[in-house]
Structure 1
């Protein structure tokens, strides 16, 4: 009788394992969106570039990147009734701020290159800051791409990308492009609870409406 019981349990176990695997989405952990509370916001990051119409190249500019970060922060907070924000983690020490920015950029580069987020650990400095503040969840956001707008007192550096970078996969010449990435960290489980990104061609990342459109797209079927 014991042998027969074992044969009964094995198919059930296989069914349960396969059901869990099927339910696990590539860009989400097992944490349910409704269980994400007390969400903290880290400072946003940006590598936004300017498209120079004169020579058809992309140039870096710190002032424009800072403007993009501030605008993204405003766009995210405009969803405070839908996204469970409870506060921000503000870092004053420049050295730590630089470490955080590097970790966020490296993490987004990694997540963007993988088919699924499972098994990716939280970067060390970000994790330690969450633990020090007694917080479990934090939202990271990055805005990249390029714009045709020039902020005042602009200091363009040498071009680091050629005209090829402003042509999409369909061969269409672009003048603006907005690439928004968002992730939610889970310090309790030491992993990434959520990751998604949105890329819009010929949409200006220095327009609040563009960022709000992308945030809506990113969190569709997650927070709403």
Structure 2
């Protein structure tokens, strides 16, 4: 299931998108003191050509930096306590259910009638909070030296096709998904994914910028 979520995230990474958020009937003013799940992070590493491989080290760095930023900015993001789960089976179910919810939302483009999945619903109810947040990160970084070679290949293809097809390689990329779950109504209250940025997926400034972007226009005005 983890591989399915990675595939889905990568597809949305390269697909067209907007910075618009989706909400249920719940108003933003109702969303307060959210518990939050440990962030999920799927960072790929490109060693050769354009072949992506998940990199645990990069994924963990990004995950920890997101977690640190959430902790330091709890009031801004209306957060209370972190939900910590030390059970691999349950964590795998959460990832599977996030994959399921993300695919439905991506297909329907709305949150109407999207009910919470059993594991997530049970966890947030057991933590005695109505709302809970989870952030999911996806992105990639190239091995040093890989980018120049791909640029040269792109230029060669451009010459052969008279400039009609010039694939532009990207050094690195990051984008975030944000979900707010509602245990009272047993549904997804908020969802947004930010447009990808061609920056390092482990850069804390970029991560903070994307976290802020997730809630612009919802929790606070756009800057």
TM-score by length of 2: 0.74
Equivalent position of 1:93 in the other structure: 87
Deviation at 1:71, TM superposition (A): 1.5
Instruction: Mark the structure with the bigger radius of gyration.
Output: 1
- Choose which of 204, 209, 216 in structure 2 pairs with 1:208: 204
2:173 to 170, 177, 183: 177
Say what the alpha-carbon RMSD is for the aligned residues: 2.3
Distance 1:70 1:112, change over 3 A: farther
For 1:149 and 1:33, the matched residues in 2 are separated by 41
Residue 195 of structure 1: how far off its partner (Å): 0.5
2:65 is equivalent to residue 78 of structure 1: no
Equivalent residue number for residue 185 of structure 2 = 189
* Alpha-carbon separation, structure 2, partners of 1:116 and 1:49: 29
* Structure 1: tracts of 5 or more residues without a match: 1-24, 151-162, 165-169
Residue equivalent to 2:62: 68
Q: Residues 1-41 of structure 1: CA distance to partner in whole angstroms, max 9, x if unpaired? A: xxxxxxxxxxxxxxxxxxxxxxxx97011211111122001
* CA distance in structure 2 between the partners assigned to 1:193 and 1:99 by the alignment: 20
Identify which range, 71-80 or 181-190, moves more after superposition.
71-80
Q: 2:111 aligns with which of 114, 117, 131?
A: 117
Contact 2:21 2:192 in 1 (8 A): no
1:149 Cα deviation (Å)? 6.5
Give the direction of change, closer, same or farther, for the CA distance of 1:63–1:109 in structure 2 (3 Å limit): farther
Structure 2 gap ranges (5+): 1-19, 145-152, 155-165
TM-score normalised by the chain length of structure 1: 0.74
Equivalent in the alignment of 1:39 = 34
Whole-Å separation in 2 of the counterparts to 1:48 and 1:112? 20
Assess, with a 3 A threshold, how the Cα gap between structure 1 residues 179 and 112 changes in structure 2: closer, same or farther. farther
Describe the SS at the equivalent of 1:47: strand
Q: For residue 128 of structure 2, what is the aligned residue in structure 1?
A: 134
